[in-house]
């Protein structure tokens, strides 16, 4: 049921002081202060602190960034001249390239024409084929370069994963033609070499290597032998077969005049090092370093020449490493380390890094610097190497990585770092701090300056990020005020990240209230916060209209900003704000932006109090929020106006706006509070104002409950509703207040309070619709937790206090049913009789009659129960229910001592079941089986009452009588089986077997006639056994049949256990005791009480399914697995031997 909205609209008529609203109210700060140009000092050329200063391993101050920076500056004459020269050169190159293409195509056509016309054995044919193959190779190479350039121009995410490959198919076919048809060609080895080269470029190294092997085998004197050995060596080297590679390199070393000699010598040393032959490796490396050195005595000039040659060898080593991109700085260092060159490894690595930078191989250079840093992290030059890494990242066009490198520079080499603790010279630490501060600041300001001049958004973003890093590490630096303002400028004017911009503006103003940018900072801070609020208002509007609002920009954390904002606050306040942050981000409520906005205005008011427009500023900004239904900041601004400028002409209107804001925001508690405060304010002393304030107070009390309920404060909401109902009992909303109090107590889990509220509602407002709903809710509440007596009490109250209610019939029916269920027999009978009296013609009257009978039976009023069951039988037309009632009536009559009437009731139940057998559902079958079972038990009881022992002259009559009764009992139990009710099937089969077993035991226990000799006695027992054994056979067969049926139906209850025990008694060999086998049979667990019905609110009766019609006492399901799923059935001979053995055992015992 929906809760009523108690409070209506609280309208306040505007006074004469009210200002224009809506479109006439515009934010003063929507036009921000003009963007300031970055002020970059003329001396800020070198990020490291100078223009020409050089430190060991640090490179020159004229960095790549410096050159880029200077190149990007306007240079009208030089730029124009270079542009003209570049255009002329590009034109000449393009024309020459076109000429080459034309000439190549002409040559190809001529050669192809010659090859077509001339015979294959022509003397010039091999040369023509070779020349055409070379031209085709050049053409394929040119096409490949064009395709690769086009592929490379496509963005990585859009282009194919496989890059283009050169197609040398035509050239290779021509090479093959020469190799197949012109084996006597004098340049045959050259053709093989060219094909091998083409196969290598085409990605077929297997074919290339085979051709190199053929050159070695077929042309041992060819000039390409060193090349072939080198190619094979490189292949082995690539496969890490260093021994095989070394052998090939050694073959190259046989040709000292080969251009590959030096490389082969170096690579052979490398192989030896990888093979852990360090001595030989070092020797060869020294040979590399000693290349070009002379022998014997040398002069001073010659020694100088040797030193130069050694330096050249070292450069050659670096050159080899830089030419082969597969070699890394780590490889070079490891090799130097192996030959004992650690003393100059750092110098070599730094030189290697510089060489990489000179070749624009920035990645390799960065790797080298990283290796140096890894080797000597505490070196005083380490910060400069890290700075070089940042410069390399910038040169790679990776501004994000450059920023990350600068961030690492600041985080690794400033106060508190391990590096600082390892430095013994404080001047080094100070210089490093100055260098880092300058590097980050200058880089950020350069990017900012260049971005302003060239309008590059990417540079604005990187500059802003570097400003953030700077402020994180130098929050109190001399330049921090300016840089924080610059950062805010980028965020505000360029990146339009107004939330962060406003925060940085505000912190800058707080940092230096008298600073040169403070007034602009506050202006722009207020403007930024207004823009954030506008975006939030749009999302709020979309949210209220059910549209999908645009996602709010995720605020970036700014630890420094947050620290500055919360300066002077207690830690507990910070924690409380952090906990409230998620709730504050609701765009339709007060956000963190609103709090900062108020702080900016407060600081502006504090710093510039003489501004005559301040009252209007406060009112207009408050009105802006008010018009957009954002009331918390509106109230705060109006409150500031009232506190600071109480005599302002805006004061009265501001007070009324506060009340109306709370009313629109449904903040009824504050409406009551402020209304009481304003009653004492001089601005609200008119009679009309006082009257309206009284009305607000009265209505707010009622509305507070609804407001608390919406916030989930259910206990407080219930208390407020009760206060409203008791304080204003004559108000038309008092009954609803009681009802809402009950609902809120329910929501709070206070059922006692809810019950009390519903009781008061019923007592004070009988006969009302809301009172009837309260009674029904109270009943439903207790019914849901299975407190049926309390639920029935509320249903009875409904029937009594709201007799004309739409659910009065259902209430009285439910009360009867729940009283029966709870065992409250007296009230159940009373409710049932009242139902029959008021709704005797109802379709449910028959069922209520049955419930009355059940209540009498529960109270052991057996005669009354039997009478009401008889009434039920006469009223119902349902055969299944008639059988059930007859059976229950038989039970009541039996308990009441009327055995004759009980037998008659059972007879009627059985006759009806037989007559309507095909129409019965599970309920009818169950109670029919129960009735027939009770009849069989009565016959069995009569049978057991007849004793075999007694006068011999009447023994025959007694035996005949027992036999007759036994037959009748067996027939009755057999009838039970026919109803196919699992529980009674096993019970009936057990009783059949038990009856035969008892009969046999009675015969065996018959006293032995007196005066018999031992032989006569034995003969007597043998004859008796021959009569008893068939009876025991029948008992055993009944037990076995019943037990097997129980196993098949998976019924494990007391009847199953008794069947198994009977089998053990009659054949303990085949059926030993279960306990001796480690098992047992127990009753299945009781079926759990089903959950309460959903209020018993009956509508149209549903079609009754067989499952739903089944009685409560259905056969128990299996709770434990049978100890034996199947047992082997004993043969007849085994059973006879077992019976004879038991008979002998009994005789021995007697």
Q: What pLDDT, on a 0 to 100 scale, did the predictor assign at position 55?
A: 37
Report the C-alpha gap between 194 and 209 in whole angstroms.
12
Answer yes or no: is pLDDT of 1051 > 90. no
Closest of 843, 817, 840 to residue 828, by C-alpha = 817
Q: When comparing pLDDT for 234 and 962, which is higher?
A: 234
**Is 273 in a helix, a strand, or coil?**
helix
Q: Do the domain assignments include residue 1020?
A: yes
Is residue 993 a contact partner of residue 1038, using CB atoms and an 8 Å limit? yes
Give 33's DSSP letter: P
Q: What pLDDT, on a 0 to 100 scale, did the predictor assign at position 342?
A: 65
380: its two tokens: 């005083």
Same domain, 698 and 824: no
Q: Do the domain assignments include residue 437?
A: no
Same domain, 759 and 793: no
Give 116-125's long-range contacts (Cβ < 8 A, gap of 24+): 120/181, 125/182
Q: What is the 3-state secondary structure (H, E, C) of 1115-1143?
A: CCCCCCCCCCCCCCCCCHHHHHHHHHHHH
Q: When comparing pLDDT for 704 and 756, which is higher?
A: 756
DSSP of 448-461: HHHHHHHT-HHHHH
Model-wide pTM > 0.85: no
Give 59's DSSP letter: B
Report the C-alpha gap between 922 and 904 in whole angstroms.
23
Question: Which residues neighbour 1088 within 8 Å (Cβ) at sequence distance 6 or greater?
Answer: none
Q: Which of 330, 361, 392 is the last residue of a domain?
A: 361
The phi, psi pair for 1126, rounded to 5°, reads: -145, 145
Q: Do the domain assignments include residue 209?
A: no
Answer yes or no: is pLDDT of 1110 > 90. no
Q: What pLDDT, on a 0 to 100 scale, did the predictor assign at position 569?
A: 42
Same domain, 737 and 823: no
Q: What is the pLDDT of residues 866-900, one digit of tens each?
A: 998 888 888 888 889 988 899 999 889 988 888 88
Q: What is the pLDDT of residues 474-506, one digit of tens each?
A: 999 999 999 999 999 999 999 999 999 999 999
**Is 611 in a helix, a strand, or coil?**
coil
Q: How many distinct structural domains can be found in the chain?
A: 4
Tell me what percent of the residues of the chain surpass a pLDDT of 90.
20
DSSP run (H or E) holding 727: helix 714-727
| Greatest mean pLDDT among 120-129, 413-422, 544-553, 599-608 | 413-422
Band of the pLDDT at 706, cuts 50, 70, 90?
confident
Answer yes or no: is pLDDT of 690 > 70. yes
Least confident of 69-73, 185-189, 449-453, 646-650: 69-73
Q: When comparing pLDDT for 26 and 649, which is higher?
A: 649
Answer yes or no: is pLDDT of 356 > 70. yes
Is residue 266 a contact partner of residue 278, using CB atoms and an 8 Å limit? no
Q: What is the pLDDT of residues 127-156, one digit of tens each?
A: 999 998 899 888 888 888 888 888 888 888
**Is 114 in a helix, a strand, or coil?**
helix
988: its two tokens: 């009936």
Provide the CA 329 distance to its chain's centre, in angstroms: 44
Q: What pLDDT, on a 0 to 100 scale, did the predictor assign at position 902?
A: 85
Q: Do the domain assignments include residue 280?
A: no
Q: What pLDDT, on a 0 to 100 scale, did the predictor assign at position 547?
A: 64
Mean pLDDT of 274-292: 68
Same domain, 694 and 759: yes
Report the C-alpha gap between 499 and 490 in whole angstroms.
12
Q: What pLDDT, on a 0 to 100 scale, did the predictor assign at position 431?
A: 94
Band of the pLDDT at 44, cuts 50, 70, 90?
low
The phi, psi pair for 55, rounded to 5°, reads: -120, 160
Answer yes or no: is pLDDT of 30 > 70. no
* 570-606 per-residue burial string, b: 16 or more CB within 10 A, e: under 16: eeeeeeebeeeeeeeeebbbbbbbbbbbbbbbebbbe
Q: What is the pLDDT of residues 983-1021, one digit of tens each?
A: 787 787 787 777 777 777 777 777 776 777 778 778 777
Exposed/middle/buried for 859, CB within 10 Å: 0-12, 13-18, 19+? Answer: middle
Question: Which residues neighbour 524 within 8 Å (Cβ) at sequence distance 6 or greater?
Answer: 29, 32, 33, 488, 492, 501, 502, 505
Same domain, 715 and 822: no
780: its two tokens: 């439903």
Report the C-alpha gap between 315 and 309 in whole angstroms.
10
Q: When comparing pLDDT for 280 and 912, which is higher?
A: 912
Whole-number mean pLDDT of the chain? 77
Report the C-alpha gap between 795 and 281 in whole angstroms.
103
Answer yes or no: is pLDDT of 561 > 50. no
User: In the chain, how long is the greatest CA-to-CA distance?
Assistant: 158
User: Which residue has tokens 């140096």?
Assistant: 372
Answer yes or no: is pLDDT of 1112 > 50. no
Band of the pLDDT at 679, cuts 50, 70, 90?
confident
Tell me what percent of the residues of the chain surpass a pLDDT of 70.
76
Return the C-alpha torsion angle 120, 125, 126, 131, nearest 10: -140
Q: When comparing pLDDT for 104 and 582, which is higher?
A: 104
For the chain, what percentages of helix, strand and coil (3-state, to nearest 5) are there? Answer: 70, 0, 30
Q: What is the pLDDT of residues 802-811, one digit of tens each?
A: 988 889 889 9
Q: What is the pLDDT of residues 753-801, one digit of tens each?
A: 999 988 998 888 898 888 899 999 999 999 898 899 999 998 989 889 9
Q: How many helices (H) and strands (E) does the chain have?
A: 48, 0
Same domain, 753 and 792: no
Q: Do the domain assignments include residue 1030?
A: yes
Band of the pLDDT at 553, cuts 50, 70, 90?
low
Same domain, 1026 and 1136: yes
CATH number at residue 692: 1.25.40.10
Same domain, 1000 and 1132: yes
Q: When comparing pLDDT for 583 and 636, which is higher?
A: 636
Closest of 810, 850, 846, 843 to residue 829, by C-alpha = 850
Q: Which of 342, 361, 380 is the last residue of a domain?
A: 361
Q: What pLDDT, on a 0 to 100 scale, did the predictor assign at position 1140?
A: 47
Same domain, 1011 and 1120: yes
Q: What pLDDT, on a 0 to 100 scale, did the predictor assign at position 1124?
A: 38
Q: Do the domain assignments include residue 1066?
A: yes
Is residue 693 a contact partner of residue 52, using CB atoms and an 8 Å limit? no
Same domain, 819 and 966: no
Band of the pLDDT at 572, cuts 50, 70, 90?
very low
Answer yes or no: is pLDDT of 384 > 70. yes
Same domain, 318 and 341: yes
993: its two tokens: 């077997």
Report the C-alpha gap between 607 and 508 in whole angstroms.
14
736: its two tokens: 């609803």
Same domain, 1047 and 1150: yes
**Within 10 A of 1008 (CB to CB), how many other CB atoms are there?**
12
Q: Do the domain assignments include residue 976?
A: yes
Answer yes or no: is pLDDT of 62 > 70. no
Q: Do the domain assignments include residue 401?
A: no
For Cα atoms 944, 949, 953, give the angle at the middle one, nearest 5 degrees. 120
Q: What pLDDT, on a 0 to 100 scale, did the predictor assign at position 227?
A: 92
Mean pLDDT of 396-408: 91
Band of the pLDDT at 51, cuts 50, 70, 90?
very low
Least confident of 217-221, 545-549, 704-708, 845-849: 545-549
Q: What pLDDT, on a 0 to 100 scale, did the predictor assign at position 643?
A: 75
Mean pLDDT of 189-200: 89
Q: When comparing pLDDT for 521 and 613, which is higher?
A: 521
DSSP run (H or E) holding 372: helix 362-375
Domain with 714, as residue range(s), is 666-784
Mean pLDDT of 1057-1078: 76
Q: What pLDDT, on a 0 to 100 scale, did the predictor assign at position 25?
A: 42
Q: What pLDDT, on a 0 to 100 scale, did the predictor assign at position 1093?
A: 37
Q: What pLDDT, on a 0 to 100 scale, did the predictor assign at position 115?
A: 87
**Is 442 in a helix, a strand, or coil?**
helix
Q: What pLDDT, on a 0 to 100 scale, did the predictor assign at position 467?
A: 95
Q: What pLDDT, on a 0 to 100 scale, did the predictor assign at position 340?
A: 58
Report the C-alpha gap between 321 and 345 in whole angstroms.
14
Task: List the beta bridge partners of residue 55.
Answer: 59
Q: What pLDDT, on a 0 to 100 scale, did the predictor assign at position 620?
A: 81
First-last CA distance in the chain: 81
Closest of 637, 648, 643, 638 to residue 612, by C-alpha = 648
């Amino acid at each position: 049921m929906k809760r009523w909205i108690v409070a209506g609209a609280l309208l306040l008529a505007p006074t004469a002081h009210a200002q224009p609203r809506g479109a006439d109210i515009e934010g003063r700060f929507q036009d921000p202060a003009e963007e300031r140009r970055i002020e970059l000092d003329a001396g800020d050329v070198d990020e490291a602190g100078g223009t020409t200063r050089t430190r060991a391993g640090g490179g020159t101050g004229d960095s790549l960034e410096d050159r880029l920076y200077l190149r990007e500056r306007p240079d009208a004459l030089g730029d124009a001249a270079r542009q003209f020269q570049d255009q002329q050169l590009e034109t000449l190159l393009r024309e020459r390239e076109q000429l080459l293409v034309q000439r190549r195509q002409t040559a190809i056509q001529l050669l192809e024409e010659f090859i077509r016309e001339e015979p294959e054995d022509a003397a010039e044919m091999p040369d023509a084929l070779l020349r055409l193959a070379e031209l085709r190779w050049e053409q394929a190479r040119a096409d490949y370069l064009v395709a690769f350039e086009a592929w490379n121009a496509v963005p990585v995410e859009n282009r194919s994963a496989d890059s283009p490959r050169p197609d040398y198919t035509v050239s290779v076919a021509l090479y093959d033609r020469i190799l197949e048809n012109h084996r006597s060609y004098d340049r045959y080895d050259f053709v093989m070499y060219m094909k091998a080269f083409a196969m290598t470029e085409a990605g077929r190294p297997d074919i290339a290597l085979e051709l190199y092997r053929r050159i070695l085998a077929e042309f041992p004197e060819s000039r390409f032998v060193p090349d072939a050995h080198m190619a094979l060596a490189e292949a082995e080297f690539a496969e890490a077969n260093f021994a095989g590679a070394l052998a090939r390199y050694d073959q190259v070393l046989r040709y000292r005049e080969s251009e590959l000699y030096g490389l082969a010598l170096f690579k052979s040393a490398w192989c030896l090092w990888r093979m852990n032959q360090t001595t030989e490796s070092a020797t060869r490396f020294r040979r590399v370093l000693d290349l070009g050195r002379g022998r014997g005595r040398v002069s001073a000039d010659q020694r100088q020449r040797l030193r130069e040659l050694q330096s050249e060898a070292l450069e050659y080593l670096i050159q080899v490493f830089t030419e082969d991109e597969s070699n890394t700085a780590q490889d070079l260092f490891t090799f130097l380390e192996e030959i004992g060159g650690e003393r100059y490894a750092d110098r070599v690595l730094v030189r290697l890094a510089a060489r990489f930078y000179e070749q624009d191989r920035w990645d390799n250079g960065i790797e080298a610097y990283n290796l140096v840093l890894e080797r000597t992290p505490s070196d005083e030059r380490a910060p400069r190497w890290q700075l070089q890494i940042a410069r390399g990242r910038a040169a790679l066009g990776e501004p994000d990585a450059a920023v990350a490198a600068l961030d690492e520079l600041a985080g690794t080499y400033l106060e508190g770092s391990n590096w600082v603790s390892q430095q013994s010279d404080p001047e080094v630490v100070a210089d490093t701090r100055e260098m880092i501060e300058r590097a980050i600041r200058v880089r950020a300001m350069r990017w900012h300056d260049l971005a302003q001049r060239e309008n590059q958004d990417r540079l604005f973003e990187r500059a802003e990020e570097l400003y953030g890093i700077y402020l994180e590490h130098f929050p109190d630096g001399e330049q921090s005020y300016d840089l924080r303002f610059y950062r805010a400028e980028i965020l505000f004017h360029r990146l339009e990240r107004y939330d962060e911009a406003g925060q940085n503006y505000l912190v800058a103003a707080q940092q230096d209230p008298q600073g040169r940018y403070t007034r602009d900072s506050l202006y722009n801070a207020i403007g930024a916060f207004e823009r954030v609020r506008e975006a939030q208002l749009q999302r709020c509007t979309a949210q209220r209209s059910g549209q999908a609002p645009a996602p709010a920009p995720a605020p970036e954390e700014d630890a420094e900003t947050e620290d500055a904002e919360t300066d002077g606050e207690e830690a507990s306040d910070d924690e409380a704000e952090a906990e409230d942050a998620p709730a504050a981000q609701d765009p339709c409520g007060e956000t963190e932006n609103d709090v900062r906005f108020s702080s900016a205005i407060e600081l502006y008011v504090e710093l510039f109090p003489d501004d005559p427009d301040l009252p209007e500023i406060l009112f207009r900004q408050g009105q802006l929020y008010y018009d957009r239904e954002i009331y918390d900041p509106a109230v705060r601004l109006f409150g500031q106006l009232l506190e600071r400028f109480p005599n302002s002409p805006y004061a009265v209107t501001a007070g009324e706006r506060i009340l109306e804001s709370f009313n629109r925001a449904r903040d009824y508690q504050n409406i009551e509070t402020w209304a009481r405060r304003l009653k004492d304010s001089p601005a609200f002393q008119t009679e009309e104002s006082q009257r309206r304030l009284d009305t607000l107070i009265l209505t707010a009390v009622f509305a507070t409950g609804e407001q608390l309920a919406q916030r989930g404060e259910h206990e407080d909401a219930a208390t407020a509703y009760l206060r409203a109902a008791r304080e204003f009992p004559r108000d038309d909303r008092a009954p609803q207040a009681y009802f809402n109090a009950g609902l809120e107590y329910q929501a709070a889990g206070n059922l006692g309070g809810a019950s009390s509220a519903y009781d008061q509602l019923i007592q004070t407002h009988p006969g009302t619709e809301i009172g009837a709903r309260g009674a029904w809710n109270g009943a439903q509440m207790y019914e849901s937790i299975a407190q049926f007596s309390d639920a029935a009490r509320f249903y009875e109250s409904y029937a009594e206090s709201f007799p004309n209610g739409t659910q009065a019939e259902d209430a009285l029916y439910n009360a009867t049913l729940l009283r029966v269920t709870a065992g409250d027999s007296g009230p159940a009978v009373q409710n049932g009789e009242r139902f029959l009296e008021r709704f005797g013609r109802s379709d449910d009257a028959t069922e209520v009659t049955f419930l009355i009978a059940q209540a009498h039976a529960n109270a052991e009023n057996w005669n009354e129960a039997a009478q009401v069951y008889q009434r039920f039988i006469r009223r119902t037309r349902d055969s299944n229910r008639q059988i059930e009632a007859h059976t229950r009536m038989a039970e009541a009559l039996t308990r009441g001592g009327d055995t004759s009437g009980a037998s008659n009731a059972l007879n009627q139940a059985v006759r009806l079941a037989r007559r309507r057998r095909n129409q019965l559902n599970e309920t009818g079958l169950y109670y029919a089986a129960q009735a027939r079972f009770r009849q069989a038990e009565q016959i069995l009881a009569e049978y057991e009452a007849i004793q075999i022992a007694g006068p011999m002259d009447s023994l025959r009559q007694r035996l005949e009588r027992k036999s007759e009764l036994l037959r009748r009992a067996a027939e009755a139990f057999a009838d039970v089986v026919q109803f196919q009710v699992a529980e009674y099937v096993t019970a009936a089969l057990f009783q059949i077997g038990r009856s035969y077993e008892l009969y046999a035991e009675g015969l065996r226990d018959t006293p032995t006639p007196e005066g018999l000799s031992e032989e006569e006695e034995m003969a007597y027992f043998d004859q008796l056994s021959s009569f008893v054994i068939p009876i025991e056979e029948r008992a055993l067969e009944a037990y076995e049949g019943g037990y097997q049926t129980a196993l098949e139906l998976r019924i494990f209850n007391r009847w199953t256990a008794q069947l198994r025990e009977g089998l053990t008694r009659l054949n303990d060999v085949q059926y030993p005791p279960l306990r001796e086998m480690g098992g047992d049979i127990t009753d299945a667990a009781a079926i759990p009480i089903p959950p309460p019905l959903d209020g018993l609110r009956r509508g149209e009766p549903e079609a009754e399914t067989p499952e739903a019609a089944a009685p409560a006492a259905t056969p128990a399901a299996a709770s434990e697995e049978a100890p034996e799923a199947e047992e082997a059935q004993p043969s007849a001979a085994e059973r006879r031997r077992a019976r004879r053995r038991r008979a002998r055992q009994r005789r021995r015992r007697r």
